[in-house]
């Protein structure tokens, strides 16, 4: 549906998505809910995830004939950005990845329950750190599965007969080792058990690659939202905090630092929005992968620069756990490398768009 929208309709669609996000991530809201969920299991609220399903968010990119909203990456990135401003801990992007994958494969497996927010289905594809390649080794542990302690099922890509088959393994009884992350969430390492899994597709390679790219771009948008909110909080602090009888925001050194951070945010927004527009315009192959990598590399690197800078500009209070700015740095530390680090995406971009001597 989204591909048929003109610029005016798409802008209105994106505005409506941003407005709807206020139900879960109210602009300027406090982070009490986020703090209460940190370092707990599953680390998020199942009721909130069901609400996301009811609002059509998990299936935002799923075609209407598969039960989704059929909207574009522009809308998906706008939603992810809004969720990032409030550090929403629910696994929206991992669930959307699984929904897009299952929909692309004909709607097989637990798609309906996933779209409704009744089931948390996570794609366990990663066998080593910092990669976008799904090797599909049948018995290899699947690592870095986000928010795995709350999963109902896992999607397992497995290399069979030269193709990448896809299995659905129930989380009940699964061998999953859970590790806590800096932001209070968790990552899982899953030991596959194909004996208790159901095969849902014979060849998922292309669909998985496309879904991972969209998840990488949506993660970049989430980081953009986190950068913007942390920077807004910091500029408010600079406008009110006094030192030596002056508002510290009047000090030229701090103004220059704030201007640098603002530029990082602006460049990230331009890159993320350009990538989303390219995907919605039908970019494919190397062109699609290149714009995604450019945006994710920019967002991953800038998010660390901006959130770390915001902590420093906030002075001593910025280093305390009670001050909310630090929560944004913790989130950036976790998400910057999810679906590919800045270094990985820079390498991929350069391989896809090599420098020319001309």
Residue spans per domain, the chain: 206-352
**DSSP track, 262-274:** HHHHHHHHHHHHH
d(CA 59, CA 98): 10
Per DSSP, 138 falls in state T
Do 145 and 190 touch, CB atoms closer than 8 A? yes
pTM summary value: 0.95
The helix, strand and coil proportions of the chain, stated in percent and rounded to the nearest 5, come to 55, 10, 30
- Would you state the pLDDT for residue 198? 95
Can you give the pLDDT at residue 5? 63
CB distance 155 to 136 below 8 Å: no
Partnered with residue 165 across adjacent β-strands are: 158
Partnered with residue 316 across adjacent β-strands are none
Residue 10 is predicted with a pLDDT of 78
For the chain, how far is it from start to end, CA to CA, in angstroms?
Answer: 40
Cα separations in angstroms, 353 against 64, 72, 109, 287: 34, 25, 37, 8
What is the structure's pLDDT at 4? 54
C-alpha 313/C-alpha 88 separation (Å) is 24
d(Cα 224, Cα 131) in Å, to the nearest integer? 22
Nearest residue to 248 (alpha-carbon basis) of 314, 340, 170, 320: 314
Q: Which CATH number fits domain 206-352: 1.20.1250.20, 3.30.420.10, 1.20.140.10, 3.30.413.10?
A: 1.20.140.10
Residue ranges in the chain modelled with pLDDT below 70: 1-6, 242, 248-251, 355-358
Rounded to an integer, what distance in angstroms lies between the CA atom of residue 249 and that of residue 32? 28
- pLDDT at residue 317, rounded to an integer: 83
């Amino acid at each position: 549906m989204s591909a048929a929208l003109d610029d005016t309709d798409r802008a209105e669609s994106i505005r409506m998505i941003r407005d709807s996000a206020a139900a879960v991530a109210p602009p300027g809201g406090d982070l009490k809910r986020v703090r209460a969920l940190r370092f707990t299991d599953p680390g998020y609220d199942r009721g909130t995830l069901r609400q996301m399903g009811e609002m059509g968010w998990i299936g935002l990119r799923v075609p209407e004939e598969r039960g989704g909203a059929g909207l574009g990456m522009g809308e998906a990135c706008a939603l992810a950005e809004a969720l990032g401003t409030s550090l929403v801990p629910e696994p929206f992007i991992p669930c959307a990845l699984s929904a897009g994958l299952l929909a692309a494969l004909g709607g097989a497996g637990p798609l309906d329950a996933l779209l409704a927010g009744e089931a948390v289905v996570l794609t366990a594809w990663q066998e080593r750190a910092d990669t976008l390649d799904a090797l599909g080794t049948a018995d290899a542990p699947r690592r870095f599965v986000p928010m795995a302690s709350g999963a109902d099922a896992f999607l397992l890509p497995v290399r069979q007969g030269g193709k990448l088959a896809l299995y659905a393994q129930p989380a009940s009884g699964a061998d999953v080792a859970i590790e806590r992350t800096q932001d209070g969430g968790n990552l899982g390492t899953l030991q596959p058990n194909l004996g208790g899994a159901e095969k849902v597709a014979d060849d998922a390679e292309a669909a998985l690659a496309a879904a991972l790219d969209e998840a990488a771009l949506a993660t970049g948008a989430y980081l953009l939202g986190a950068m913007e909110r942390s920077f807004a909080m910091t500029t408010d602090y600079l406008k009110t905090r006094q030192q030596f009888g002056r508002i510290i925001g009047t000090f030229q050194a701090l103004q220059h630092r704030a201007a640098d951070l603002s530029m990082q945010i602006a460049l990230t927004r331009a890159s993320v929005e350009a990538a989303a527009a390219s995907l919605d315009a039908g970019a494919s192959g190397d062109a699609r992968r290149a714009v995604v990598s450019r945006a994710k590399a920019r967002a991953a690197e800038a998010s660390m620069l901006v959130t770390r800078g915001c902590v420093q500009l906030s002075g001593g209070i910025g280093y305390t756990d009670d001050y909310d700015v630090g929560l944004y740095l913790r989130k950036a530390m976790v998400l910057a490398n999810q679906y590919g680090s800045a270094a990985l995406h820079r390498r991929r971009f350069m391989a896809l768009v090599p420098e020319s001597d001309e």
